[in-house]
Amino acid sequence: MNLLLTIWECIIILLNLSIQRCQHIKEFGYLTVVPSPFFLIGSNLTVYCHTHKCLPRSTISLELNGEAVKSSRKFNCTTVMFKLPSVRIPQSIVLCKLKGDLSKIVSGKDLHGGLRPDKPENVVCETTNSSDIIDCSWKRGQETHIPTNYNISVERENGMQMYSDQVQDAENITIPRGIFDKNTKYQLIITAYNRFGASRSDPIIMSIKDIVIPETPYITHVDFGNASMEATLQWKTNESLLYLEPYIGLHTRGCSLEVREGTVLRNGLIKVYNLRPLTDYEFKVRTCYSASRLMHISTPSSTSNERSLCSRWSPAVMGRSPGKGPSQELHVWRKFSSFQPNGVQELTVLWKPPPPEDYSGKVQQYKIFLADDQKLEVICPANSSQCSVQRSADVQTLSVSAVTLYGSSPPADVPLRHSGVSGPVLTELAPAAYGRAVLVSWSWPETIHWSASGEKLLHYVVEWISVPVMKLQWQKLNKNQNNTSITGLTAGVRYNVSVYAVTTRGVSAPSSGLVYSKEQKPVSGPHMSLLAHETRRILIRIDELPVHQQRGFITHYTLYIQKQDFSNTAEQQRVTLPASGPRLVWLDCPEGALALQMTASTAAGESPPGVRISSEPAVPAVGLVIVIIFIIITFFIVNLMCWSCVRERIKQKCLSWGPAWLVESLPKPGNSNAIRLLEDGGEPSFSSIYSDPPLSPISLICSDKREDMYPIVHVSVPQAGSGQPLTETPRRASGTETMLTDRELDHSYKPQIAIFASQAGEVAETEEEQTLIPDSGEEDVCSRPSPGLLEVLLSSVEVDFSDSPLELAVSAVGGFLWPKTPHNTSVLTRNLGSGGPDSLELHQDDIMTPDVTDPCLPQCTVETSLTDGYFPQVAHTEVDATKGMNQMDINCGSEK
């Protein structure tokens, strides 16, 4: 209770404050609008703002609909004039304010704009036989925005006023029918006026019989039956139906009234067609006099020919049309797979959903019938457009139907058989201008295929499959159509388009082609392999790009060849290869290291370069072997240079492989004392220790006297492993037993070689090898290298002078002079002749031979002393022996 009292007290206080505020506003001043607060829209207004007191610290301002008016003129401190040009807002508010320390409202007014009324048009007066009033209506035109009055005046033909009435802002009026005579003519005028002006309608001449219309009918029943596309209306009227024609008015939500001529089934029963299923309708009926009825009516009035005499519309009756089942066959197609071993084939059935305007509600499911009697069926979900079924070879017919709540579509037969004829010929397969469609055209002369068989064309099917995704799409076309446009394609995707002709015998073979709705640049360059790289040519293999990366038809490939150098400024060589060419290609190229890149091009342009490949020409096999051998030799030389003995042996080998004249120290004839004596004719001087022996004639010595002529040879043989001579055995050095060492000959006279220098080359090599044996006693006696090639060759050379009394056996093994075999061999005297008395003979059994079974050749010293005697001059070889030569030393492995 206390809460309610508090609320009432607050309300009373607020009301008092509001009243005081209003009274306070009136005390500050007032507004004046010229010409008036009611103005014709588009006029210029002048507003004067007056204050009761002069307030110097405040400024007078004006607001029109909340916006400040800038155009002003101040007369004095209490009056300011404001201009409002071309005001077009019908309802406006102006406020005069004082702005200073505190903003205060001086006064305010409402402005009312309006227009003068238009001339009333389409004046119609009607009545019925049973009515007591006359209904008159008109069109008043545009809105005036201010109150407008309409005055209706009825006069006789003589000008006498019979009736007058007035309504405000209305478009119809009722006039009592009793004031009118049935056969008298009257004139009706409607005048519209407001504060901005007035206008009058055209006079209407009428009589009662001219304005009588049929009675208003009414609807008693609406029946849709089993069909959702039509409705039957039952209606009634209070007058005869003989001269009446009914009309139906349909009105749906959001639409204007639609008038249709129904089909009269009988009196009072009419049917309307082409309704939409599941739609709410308002049904109305009206009747009009027929033409025969109008001919009997006298119509002298000016308005009788401008209108038909029809009744008013009946009251509306609501009705909702039922749902509609699909009425058209589905568009169907199929996709085959191979038969399985059990004779069953997997078949994919495709269909297009029925058009929405052909059925009501939603599709519940699809049914596939595998026989004519429709007993075998497969149920497919409603949101699918294809379904896989298995059919046996004996199933030759198959049909599809869409099922809704209001019915099923007629079964559509799926073509399963092949007609055995070729398909239509593609005449055009080209992308459209905007890049998302393809234009397809074909031709197929019908008379060629079924003139004799009676086959008839049913329709065409255009099928397109995206590559490589393999998504199948298709559309069914009328048999009279030979071109179409495939839309909704993706740029850069390849499509395989096929056209089939479906006839009464089956499906023809396809006519196919590849196409892009719009070609684009390839994603990347192709993969390239470098199989061979020679000095001035290369062998490459081009791998084709995957279809989804081509994005167009590849026209050519471009290979970029750049020679690699340190500056990277080498010019690129560009080679164009046709796309239809071989995948293995030999190409000319610059010498040296190369960098290769390849691109692919379509009609849209060139792709980015592919993977960069760097390559150098292959090194020839011979050169590689040479390099390897050189490296090995260098390695061994560097390692063997540290071994003095090995160096010496290598030196010996190198010298032994060369010609004899390269290493032989030939004596100079100019230094020979014998030649000087021969030239001077005097005796030799014995001041030099290397004097030539006196010349003596060559004489033949018999075998029994040779022992007296040649000195005894002493041979010192050391004990095994001691290195010291064990015994010194004097042996008789006969003329047939001689062993010479190069060490002794180095300090003696070397006889001149006159004729057989070439034959003595092998002996010279042997002598040179002996001089190259290192003298160091620190070398391992077991480190003697194996015989070289020249040694083996020389050791195997044997010359048999079996028919000669003089034979020389010489063998070179490791630089020593040893007899090789028990047989007699000679390399010095092989060309000295045979059987002559001047030959020199050495016998194997007269020479001391060390133990050859020792593999390491132990140290040994063989001394051969020539105590006395003279070496005879060899006639053809001019070999001179030193007279004072008395000893030959042979060292084995140690320095003497």
The pLDDT confidence band at residue 8, using thresholds 50, 70 and 90, is low
Q: Is the pLDDT of residue 819 over 70?
A: no
pLDDT score recorded for residue 512: 92
**Look-up of token digits 């089939």:** 500
Do residues 738 and 826 lie in contact, with contact meaning Cβ atoms separated by under 8 Å? Answer: no
Dist. CA 406–CA 228, nearest whole Å = 9
Of 40-54, 281-295, 736-750, 865-879, which has the strongest mean pLDDT?
A: 40-54
Q: Is the pLDDT of residue 373 over 50?
A: yes
Q: Is the pLDDT of residue 892 over 50?
A: no
Do residues 211 and 174 lie in contact, with contact meaning Cβ atoms separated by under 8 Å? Answer: no
SS3 21: helix
Q: Is the pLDDT of residue 426 over 80?
A: yes
For the chain, the helix, strand and coil percentages under 3-state DSSP, each to the nearest 5 = 15, 35, 50
Q: Is the pLDDT of residue 297 over 50?
A: yes
Question: Comparing 166 with 757, which gets the higher pLDDT?
Answer: 166
pLDDT in tens, 439-484: 999 997 755 555 446 678 899 999 999 988 778 899 999 999 999 9
Residue of 440, 477, 439 lying closest to 461 (CA atoms): 477
pLDDT score recorded for residue 753: 42
Mean pLDDT (whole number) for 579-606: 89
Question: Comparing 192 with 687, which gets the higher pLDDT?
Answer: 192
What secondary structure letter does DSSP report for 325? -
pLDDT score recorded for residue 429: 92
Mean pLDDT (whole number) for 43-71: 89
How far is residue 442 from each of residues 435, 472, 483, 510, 587, measured CA to CA in Å?
Answer: 21, 20, 6, 11, 44
Sequence-distant (≥ 6) Cβ neighbours of residue 305 within 8 angstroms? 299
Q: Is the pLDDT of residue 839 over 60?
A: no
Q: Is the pLDDT of residue 418 over 80?
A: yes
Mean pLDDT (whole number) for 818-827: 38
Mean pLDDT (whole number) for 704-712: 52
Dist. CA 128–CA 208, nearest whole Å = 10
Q: What percent of the chain has pLDDT over 70?
A: 66
DSSP-assigned letters across all residues of 433-450:
TTSS-EEEEEE--HHHHH
- What stretches of 660-719 show up as alpha helix (H) in DSSP? 660-663, 673-680, 706-709
pLDDT score recorded for residue 110: 92
The pLDDT confidence band at residue 776, using thresholds 50, 70 and 90, is very low
Mean pLDDT (whole number) for 553-559: 93
Q: Is the pLDDT of residue 13 over 60?
A: no
DSSP-assigned letters across all residues of 72-97:
EEE-SSSEEEEEEEEE--SEEEEEEE
How confident is the prediction for the chain on average, in pLDDT?
74
Residue of 179, 69, 129, 108 lying closest to 289 (CA atoms): 129
Q: Is the pLDDT of residue 751 over 60?
A: no
Phi then psi dihedrals of residue 223, to 5 deg: -130, 125
The pLDDT confidence band at residue 121, using thresholds 50, 70 and 90, is very high
User: Which strand (E) or helix (H) includes residue 172?
Assistant: strand 172-176
Question: Comparing 698 with 303, which gets the higher pLDDT?
Answer: 698
Least confident of 126-130, 330-334, 652-656, 797-801: 797-801
pLDDT score recorded for residue 679: 67
Dist. CA 707–CA 846, nearest whole Å = 13
Dist. CA 541–CA 533, nearest whole Å = 12
Residue of 313, 319, 318 lying closest to 218 (CA atoms): 313
Mean pLDDT (whole number) for 184-200: 93
Peptide bond into 785 cis (omega under 30): no
How far is residue 353 from each of residues 158, 324, 663, measured CA to CA in Å?
Answer: 75, 15, 110
Of 116-120, 580-584, 814-818, which has the strongest mean pLDDT?
A: 116-120
Mean pLDDT (whole number) for 272-285: 89
Question: Comparing 58 with 699, which gets the higher pLDDT?
Answer: 58
Q: Is the pLDDT of residue 859 over 50?
A: no
The pLDDT confidence band at residue 872, using thresholds 50, 70 and 90, is very low
Q: Is the pLDDT of residue 607 over 50?
A: yes
Angle at 342 between CA 340 and CA 343, to 5 degrees: 70
pLDDT score recorded for residue 222: 92
Mean pLDDT (whole number) for 766-778: 40
Do residues 598 and 525 lie in contact, with contact meaning Cβ atoms separated by under 8 Å? Answer: yes
pLDDT score recorded for residue 804: 40
pLDDT score recorded for residue 655: 75
Tokens of 723: 């290195």
Q: Is the pLDDT of residue 826 over 70?
A: no
pLDDT score recorded for residue 741: 39
Beta-strand runs (E) in 352-398: 363-369, 377-381, 386-392
Dist. CA 888–CA 388, nearest whole Å = 116
Least confident of 217-226, 270-279, 499-508, 821-830: 821-830
CA atoms within 13 A on the CB side of 815: 24
The pLDDT confidence band at residue 680, using thresholds 50, 70 and 90, is low
Dist. CA 342–CA 17, nearest whole Å = 101
pLDDT score recorded for residue 812: 35
Mean pLDDT (whole number) for 345-362: 89
